[in-house]
Every structure is written in C-alpha cells, then in structure tokens.
Chain A
Amino acid sequence: MTALPSHTEKKLGLVIDLDTCVGCHACVVACKGWNDQAYGAPLSDQDPYGADPTGSFLNRVHSYEVTPASGPAQLVHFPKSCLHCEDAPCVTVCPTGASYKRAEDGIVLVNEDACIGCGLCAWACPYGAREMDAAAGVMKKCTLCVDRIYNEALPEEDRQPACVRTCPAGARHFGDLGDPDSEVSQLVAARGGVDLMPEQGTKPVNKYLPPRPRDEVPEFDVLAPYLEPVATEPQGFLGWLDRTLDRI
C-alpha cells in the first residue's frame, strides 16, 4: 500500500491565499477541534497548564517578514498543513503501509491502526506536515477532513474541511485541483498559484497564492491632477465654492 497510485481520479486539496490570510489561527484551532474527536486518536496535549505546553496540531500558521529592495518591509502569515503531494515521499518510506495515498481522490492518509510510530514519514516530509502524537504514539497529519467531505451526516454545504469552513477571511479554498475547470484551478491560474519547494520533487497538490504586489509607488503624474489646487488660500476657495455651487 505504500506504493503511490500511478494516477488519482481527483486531486483534492487546498488553495491558500497568502494575499488574504490575516494570521488569525482560526483554521489551526478549528482543525484541532474537529480532529480531536474525529478521525483516529485525539490530538493530545502534554503539560497543558504547565511550563511547557505542547500538543499535536495538523495545521499551523507561521509568519514571515519580507524586506523588498525598496519600499517598506512586509509581513506574510503562512498557514501550513499537509499538501497531499502527488509524489509523496512520506508514503513510500513507510514500512508498514500505514501511510497511503488514495487512488480515488489523492488524499494522503495514515491508517493509525497500522502505524508503528517510527517517525520516518515525518522525516521524509519536507514541509513538516506530520506530527507524532505523544500520547497515542501514532503519526497524525491533515486528513483533508476526509470524514467531513464525504460525510453524509453533515449538511451538504458543510462537507468541506473544518479549516476552510471556519476561515473568516476566506483565505482557504478546497476543491479538485486535477480538474482544470474547478474553481480552485481557475483561482490558481488567475492568481499565479505556486508549489512550495518545487525542487523537492514532491509535486504538492495544495497551491499557494502569493501576496499581490504591495506598496507600489504610483506614477505621481497620473495622480497629480487629482490634487491640482483650486485654491491655495481661503479667499480663492470661496470663489471656487461659489463657481461650483452655480453648477449644481
């Protein structure tokens, strides 16, 4: 089972809009909340009220600072979970077959009942998308909320990942990236979505939409007419008021 499927019918995944993410961590906690009581073992926390609180999360939001050659520095909030890679190295290294990629939709999952907790898959993942649960001793990772997206007990509109459903800014999108006509594929095309670490050869399904250009200095010539003075002192201003009111 650790062989990767040669082809998946769909490529379900996330598109994350770095131009829109405000770094609120809503997706982080919604993910924890859902997955704490859903697929597999709960996401445990160690020392939750003590000196070194730490626990399993399947999605975490980093922040980076970018200092362009000119213009002010920028900050980018950067959510990261499993990218459901097409050439997922985490799957092929797994000795037990617990890690697998589904042929029908491309979701990469861990069968926790078969996982020995060797940790090798986490070593193989370049993105830090897998975390070993310290209580259960099994590997946890984003399931793409496989127990939501096909879950007929949920209303249809809720059959989407918990993180996507909760994102207040709408910075997370879910869909089939294998279908060029899907909304997510269109979005990726329109906004120039990119792969993380393309050189690692993992062919991630998840795509990131880069921040739009920031702090662009407009051609002042274009804007200058908007500030063409009608008056430099109150008297002139009165004249302008008068003339303008005539026109109204």
Chain B
Amino acid sequence: MHPARSVILFTSLSGIGFGFLIWLGLGIPKAVGGVGAVYYALAFALTVGGLIASTFHLGNPQRAWRAFSQWRTSWLSREAVLAVLALAIMALHGAAAVLLGYQPAFLGLLGAALCLATVLATAMIYTQLKTVPRWNQPSTPILFALLSLAGGALLAGRMDPALWLLIAAGAVQLWAWLQGDKAFAENATTLATATRIGEEVRAFEPPHTGGNYLMREMVFQVGRKHALKLRAIAFALMIALPVLIILVNDKHLMVGIAVLLHFAGVLVARWLFFAEAEHVVGLYYGRAQTPLSSE
C-alpha cells in the first residue's frame, strides 16, 4: 500500500497521544495544576495533531463531519466517534486536573478505556481488511495497543511498565513481521482465484500503460533489501534503544531521548506497515505473490 505521510503521522501521533492519555486517565503520573497543564497539552497536541493530519489525505475534508454517522458498521466511523468521545472525556478530566487540582478516577477510567478503544478502532480499520493479508491478523490490534501504551508509558515517565510494554511490543512486532511475510502466500487468494482461468496464469499486459489510482495506492512495492534494512532501523529505534536506555539509565533527559527514538522508530515501522502491505488487487496487476519482491 502507498505509505501516505498523513496516515503514517496520524496513526503514530494519535497512537502515542492516546497512549499518554490512557496513562493520564489512570492517574499515572499524578498530573495536576501547571505540570498537569503541560502533560495534558502535550497529549492533546499529539492526538489532535494526529487527527488533523488524518484529514490531509481526504479528498473532501470539508465533509469529514459525515464520518461520525456510520458507527454501527464502519470501524473508521467508530474510530472517529470514539476519538471525539475519548477526547471530550479526557478534556473534562484534564480540566479537572488542571483547574480543580484533582483527577476524577471514574472519568479517568472511562477516558482511558475510550482512548484504548480508539486506538483499537484505528487498528481495526486495517485489521478488518481481508484484502490486505498482512494486516488481517490478531497481531495488528495487539501491536497498535502495545505501542500506544508503551509510548504513553515513556511519556508518562513510567519506566517499569514502559520496559515491559516495549519488550512485549517488540515481540509482537517480530511476530507481526514473521506472520506478515507469510500472510500473503498463505492467504487463499491467488491470481488463479482472482481470474478463475487456470492455475498456470500470468499477467500479460496491464489494462492501461498509463498509471492509475489503484496502482499508486495499492500496488506500491518496496524492495526486500530496503525493507529489511528499515525493519532493523525501526526495531532498533522503536524497541531496542529505548529498552537499552531504560536499562542503563533512567534520568529524565535520557527518557526524553528514549521517547524521541521510540517515536522515530514507530514512524519507520508505520511506514513499513503500509509500504510492505500487499493488497490482493496487486495480483491483477501481475505483482508476485511472494511477500517481498526482490529489488
């Protein structure tokens, strides 16, 4: 899939933002008054920034309000609704923390649950797609949630949970990659089922020599060597280095660096999340069924 900048930014920013809000909702750390204002502002900046970024890839963002309507069927709509609810609740929660100096527990729990639900809804937008076998797996929502929580924990300065969450996220990320690499081949859809004209079938001529939306959007391909390199970088930044930093030293400055490294890693991983995802429609365009094409 085409790794659109707006979508990468959106999922990464809002992921870490909601993660932070979850911790704040749980009252970890206790953040009230001036400090609270900074914490909440940061969390809202991340989530709202992400949400704003998400509208950049819309063809008609002025109608975005319509996306709240189909929560009964659409994960994207659910995500929108949940995001607003979560932000509203957490805004109240934050207001109480900053203005009243206390974090109402029930509101916080509710807010945290909504934030987690929002992150899961985002993940489900991708997970639900049978057309993209790499995404259509349990690891997708788990990884989204773990990364969100881990990032949030880093921001919240909670190193113990952060450590374990990072390790868990790292494990799930490796699992997602391993499974993902096999997913396309293991999925039942092949050029033969796509065309039903025989087993030994090969794309001969594309329908148009000119490009089209599908090819730009869905038939993006990233070279295997390139992807492996990026995976290594993503893993190092997102998991390994932050873990190392935590283990070695947990001074605040170092935590800041860990957060930045982690977030940079998440961005790279998200880029790969999209760039490596093969849509079954690629079969019609003669894209090989191997998970990663050779360069």
Contacts and interface: CB of A to CB of B under 8 A. Distances in A.
A–B direct touch in complex (beta carbons closer than 8 A): yes
Contacts of A134: 213
A125 B279 CA distance: 10
A93 B202 CA distance: 31
A60 B80 contact: no
A200 B189 contact: yes
Given A62-B203, A96-B69, A52 B210 contact: yes
Contacts of B129: 89, 93, 123-124
Interface string A184-196: 0000000000111
Contacts of A210: 196-197
A28 B210 CA distance: 14
Interface stretch (A7-15, A64-72, A147-155, A159-167): A64-72
Nearest to B197: A76
Given A116-B58, A126-B281, A95 B197 contact: no
Interface residues of A, number: 66
Interface stretch (B59-67, B86-94, B146-154): B59-67
Interface in B252-295: 279-281, 284-285
A contacts with B: majority SS: loop
B103 to A, nearest CB: 32
Contacts of A96: 63, 66-67, 69-70, 77
A49 B66 CA distance: 37
B196 A194 contact: yes
Interface in B149-191: 188-189, 191
B197 A18 contact: yes
B125 interface: yes
A3 interface: yes
A170 B255 CA distance: 69
Kindly state the interface size class of chain B when it binds its partner: 35 or more
Contacts of A201: 130
A94 B70 contact: yes
A12 to B, nearest CB: 21
A98 interface: yes
A116 B55 CA distance: 9
B213 A56 contact: yes
A211 interface: yes
A175 interface: no
Nearest to B135: A123
Contacts of A61: 207
B217 A120 contact: no
Interface in A2-56: 2-3, 18, 28, 52-56
Contacts of A57: 208, 212
B59 A95 contact: no
Interface string B213-236: 110011000000000000000000
A122 to B, nearest CB: 7
Contact of A95 (B61, B74, B204, B217): B74
A2 B70 CA distance: 7
6 contacts: A3-B72, A97-B70, A119-B59, A126-B194, A134-B213, A197-B194
Interface of A: 1-3, 18, 28, 52-57, 60-69, 75-76, 78, 80, 89, 92-98, 114-120, 122-128, 131-134, 136-139, 194-201, 208, 210-211
Given A63-B205, A120-B74, 12 more contacts: A2-B77, A65-B202, A75-B204, A76-B195, A80-B207, A96-B77, A117-B59, A119-B59, A123-B131, A131-B213, A132-B213, A200-B131
